[in-house]
Structure 1
Amino acid sequence: MGAAGLDVVENENGLFYFNHMGDALQNRELAMLRSFPNVIFTPHTAFYTDVNVASMVESAFKAVRAMADGEQTPLEVRL
């Protein structure tokens, strides 16, 4: 294999969605993989295809319209 593109690695809890600039990597596997110039990582964005993004936008607009019309929507988050 000449290269790898990864969206998920083992024991990745707490690695993504936080600013770790300047921190030493505590995840040994990730640190080892990142040392290779032919390995890239994406922050859990593999599912952001054109089709999925269009579906998410459509669902959001439908939910907003339903809420504006006083209807219930399964997408509403109640706190």
Structure 2
Amino acid sequence: MAEGKLVYDQQRAHLMLHGSPLQAEDLIELYILGHWVPGRVYKDVSGWYIVTSAQVGLRLQEGLLARFPEASSPATLPGKKTI
């Protein structure tokens, strides 16, 4: 699937990608400094974030370029099922 920008839907109180609300443990990739960085989505009292395979937490906000990984992408994280 192509990349898109994260959008916050105030009615649903959800962060959305391609019109789909992000759910806990969804796998997405963020475009950061010219690279696609995969991570799992989580939410806490401060908002949405991803945790990368290096266990780095990155806060998500509206407008960031993101995508769902393609089926052929090796973007899986240790300890999680392969998508």
Q: Which TM-score band (shorter chain)?
A: under 0.3
- State the TM-score, normalized to the length of structure 1: 0.22
Bigger CA radius of gyration:
1
**Larger strand fraction of residues:** 2
- State the TM-score, normalized to the length of structure 2: 0.21
**Larger helix fraction of residues:** 1
